[in-house]
Structure 1
Amino acid sequence: MNQLFSPRISVEQVEEGFQLAPKFDGNGLIPVVTTDVNTGEVLMHAYMNEEALVKTIETGEAHYYSRSRQQLWHKGATSGLVQKVRQLLIDDDQDCVWMRVEVAGSGASCHVGYRSCFYRSIPVGNNAVSEEKGVSLQFTEIEKTFDPQVVYGDAPNPTQL
């Protein structure tokens, strides 16, 4: 284990102590929710492995682990939309991270070009499901913040279908 992280010794130590003892899942990952430090808007959800969490702590910039590319990912290294970490929080049992960030440039965080990766809503309630269409998503962001083709060119899509 990395020297920044303590071993997980007891529930009390993990939940009430001062030691960082993250619990990575069976694949060596921990989920991360990233929000805008000023607005609280959820920008994205991703994962970190041990190396990504260490680099984020050391540099003050968001690093993630790309499951589709199987590699470390410095957010903004290609696009210039670097996420500066303003606050890094961990939940009570230390198995989930919340990052509050300030994003360089246009403030966008989504590789599709929208500000947030959460740019569509799912209807709920009695009229949410149609027999013909199933569930029809509704866009909450109409205009893209940047053109991904200009920023990334013909780079492969970082998500898996």
Structure 2
Amino acid sequence: MTGDNLTTQEREGGTVFAPKFDALGLLTAVIIDDSDGKVLVVAHMNTQALEATIETGKVHFWSRSRASLWMKGETSGNVLNVAQIMVDCDQDALVIRAIPAGPTCHTGAQSCFYRLLDTESGSPVLKQV
């Protein structure tokens, strides 16, 4: 999975999958629920996480805080089964449509995005969605 020799035209319009990792060796992965399109989680993948995701059909991430590979749901059982992987134009971000086997967030919420930033009262406050 390397595309160092690709032109911009080849990277953006060709058929070669050549993910473009950042200086830390990561790319952003936005995971959405395949059934309704709601954002479940945003995390990072390195080469190892991306390869494991493609190979197993279960979403894997690179934990920056633990500096380790992890599969979503490896302890809870709430895995994210890959339905489709979409790649952005310059191949530095992914949108993965997934079928969740339970809540996605470690808090027990269906999505990690369960609060809304409300600014109408003057000071920003978080409200449950």
Q: Is 1:137 aligned to 2:126, yes or no? A: yes
Aligned to 2:61: 64
Work out the CA distance in 2 between the residues paired with 1:92 and 1:67. Answer: 25
Determine if the alignment matches structure 1 residue 23 to structure 2 residue 20. yes
Q: Which contiguous aligned blocks of 4+ residues in structure 1 show a shift greater than 4 angstroms?
A: none
Alignment of 1:111-122 (within 5 A): 111-122=106-117
For residues 47 and 128 of structure 1, do their structure 2 counterparts lie closer, same or farther at Cα, with a shift above 3 Å needed? farther
The aligned length equals 128
Looking at structure 1, the residues matched to 116 and 72 of structure 2 have their Cα atoms a distance apart, in angstroms, of 24
Q: Distance in 1 between matches of 2:2 and 2:13?
A: 14
* TM-score, scaled relative to structure 1: 0.77
CA distance in 1, matches of 2:89, 2:67: 28
Structure 1 gaps, min length 5: 141-161
Give ranges in structure 2 of 5+ residues lacking alignment. Answer: none
Q: Which amino acid aligns with 2:117?
A: I
CA distance in structure 2 between the partners assigned to 1:71 and 1:17 by the alignment = 32
For 1:110, the equivalent position in structure 2 comes to: 105
- After superposition, residues 77-96 of structure 1 pair within 5 angstroms as 77-96=74-93
Match of 2:43 among 41, 46, 49: 46
1:40 partner SS: coil
Larger strand percent: 2
What is the Cα deviation at residue 123 of structure 1?
1.8
Match of 1:7 in 2: 3
User: Larger radius of gyration, structure 1 or 2?
Assistant: 1
Identical-pair percentage = 44
Superposition RMSD in Å:
1.0
Query: Aligned to 1:14, what secondary structure does the other structure show?
Result: helix
The secondary structure found in structure 2 opposite 1:122 is strand
Q: CA deviation at 1:26?
A: 0.8
